[in-house]
Structure 1
């Protein structure tokens, strides 16, 4: 019985194409011998094992160049360390994908909330939030944008909601658009799962009793957008006792025009 295998045998055994085998050979994963008479490749059991190991490592998302280097130069304990590191990276990827999936679920839930609460009101507790500012009084907050947290926010931007804070003292101001604070908000439970700074200048908003509603606006939130909110508060004898928080729930376009749906949280007493 021959101790060698032909390339067609290896291709059939490994369920890969001959071209793929030549690719692995070119990248020094395997080094088959050559017949002296016809230069045909002769593969050994060791080549089969290397191909199997290569496919295993590829499934662990190692690159071909990494695998070639590992096969040629890596010691057993070093390989164990590399696999351990890859395990942690894959776990992190899965965690981020799960967070992205949660974001999709939140968007779908936002659609339900819009249909249910648009221009309607209820009293409920505002969630525990962190606010990462980027602009104040219509001017870029350079200190905040240069802070390490801003880069982290951009890395995880799909987990954040664009947010407008309207200071209590400016709530009834027709020019409030120029006196508002702009940032990104995230619930504290999600923030705790990612590596992101949560110390000052990051602002923490504790849960509090609020009047809650959903409104639609074609521009950045302004006094006109909030007229119905102010009228409802006045009609039901509620008094604002904190900054109004406006979080973008959903954005889109219709016939060339952009629109936004905001959830409005008005602290009341």
Structure 2
């Protein structure tokens, strides 16, 4: 039995344009009606369309489908499917990693309102950090510039943060900005962790979230946090770390939310 292009389109649920594209790349070669020159398809052609749809739904391109249908034997077809299986498994694993990372950041976003103006005792994240800027501005050396650019490509696994450290005179604090990655994520990213990156171990900390108007956090923004530490007779043990959680632009207002971790000795 012969089918016209309209019949095949209705039968297998694809457009006439799609059918013509299958012909164009060589997946199928319809016959022509001698009386009018119209394309005609037989039951074998319909079977090829169905098989092509299976391959398409597995993620193969039209050129790959052409090769699978017209150029490969059974053993070669199994090899191709084995390769595609690995590609799909890798893609699924990457999607799971992205999902887990999204959940982590959703949790961090959800803590913003709870911690703004409030304090809690919690552990800081264990992370690898790469210093890229200080009070005097961005560190202008090729390694810093290249590494920072590489890390940004792997966002959201890499993100920005920083720390305050006492200057030599013990009266002022230097604000050092870094790019960082949670230690639990370092083995799943494409980028190699710079040999200049330093690990920041998880510590027992007083935590809070600070909101600023479109700028990076300053030591002066932590006055209420220092007051809390003083009232509770706690002592600061090391560098004050922070991570930039969220930046929101709405109605011309730019709000930056930063989570601060002050290591303490309890």
Instruction: Say whether the fold is shared (TM-score over 0.5).
Output: yes
Confirm whether residue 145 of structure 1 aligns to residue 120 of structure 2.
Answer: no
CA distance in 1, matches of 2:158, 2:169: 24
Runs of 4+ in 1 over 6 A off after TM superposition: none
2:152 to 138, 151, 154: 154
Structure 2: where are the runs of 5+ without partners? none
In 2, are the aligned partners of 1:210 and 1:267 still within 8 Å (CA)? yes
In 2, are the aligned partners of 1:132 and 1:150 still within 8 Å (CA)? no
Q: Structure 1 residue 262: deviation in Å?
A: 0.9
Q: How does 1:126-205 map to 2 (within 5 A)?
A: 126-137=124-135, 138-140=137-139, 142-147=142-147, 151=150, 153-169=151-167, 176=173, 179-198=174-193, 200-205=195-200
Aligned residues: CA RMSD: 2.8
Confirm whether residue 236 of structure 1 aligns to residue 232 of structure 2.
Answer: yes
Q: Structure 1 residue 208: deviation in Å?
A: 1.5
Which residue in 2 is equivalent to 1:7?
5
Structure 1: where are the runs of 5+ without partners? none
> Structure 1 residues 107, 208: closer, same or farther in 2, change over 3 A?
closer
CA distance in 2, matches of 1:200, 1:119: 37
Post-superposition CA distance 1:228-248 (Å, at most 9, x none): 222222332322222211111
Which residue in 1 is equivalent to 2:207?
212
TM-score, normalising length: structure 1: 0.83
> Structure 1 residues 173, 88: closer, same or farther in 2, change over 3 A?
farther
> Structure 1 residues 133, 62: closer, same or farther in 2, change over 3 A?
farther
> Structure 1 residues 145, 92: closer, same or farther in 2, change over 3 A?
farther
Q: Which has the higher strand share?
A: 2
TM-score, normalising length: structure 2: 0.83
Which residue in 1 is equivalent to 2:123?
125
